[in-house]
Amino acid sequence: MQILVTDPSALLFHGEVVRRDGRDVGYVRAASYGHTLGGAVGLAYLDAGTDVLDQAWLDGGKLTVVVADREHPLKASLRPLYDPTSARVRA
């Protein structure tokens, strides 16, 4: 899924740990800075365990990413964070 770090000063590279409610649930596979979104963005692999990994699971817990030994809140989405309905492409 796509992730966006809500702190614009934090930068992602790859391999950072993603946590949900304080428990390690995955890691960042690829990352860069999303200028149109105003923060670091990445693709993350997450494991929901026995739960279904859907948008409700993502929204139902506090997601953070560990960058340089500090946790930063993030938003996660199964759809693209920028233009999720492809409205710009179809215009």
- Asked, for residue 18, whether it belongs to a domain, the answer is yes
Count of domains in the chain? 1
- Asked, for residue 87, whether it belongs to a domain, the answer is no
Range of 74's domain? 2-82
User: How far is Cα 2 from Cα 81, in angstroms, rounded to an integer?
Assistant: 7
Do 63 and 76 meet the contact criterion of CB atoms below 8 Å apart? yes
Do 81 and 19 meet the contact criterion of CB atoms below 8 Å apart? no
Q: What are the E-state strand segments in the chain? A: 2-5, 17-20, 23-34, 39-46, 63-67, 70-77
pLDDT of residue 40: 96
pLDDT of residue 27: 97
- From first to last of its 91 residues, the chain has per-residue pLDDT tens of 999 999 999 999 999 999 999 999 999 999 999 999 999 999 999 999 999 999 999 999 999 999 999 999 999 999 988 888 888 888 8
Which residues pair with residue 3 across a beta bridge? 42, 76
* 36-58 tens-digit pLDDT: 999 999 999 999 999 999 999 99
User: Which position has the token pair 């026995």?
Assistant: 50
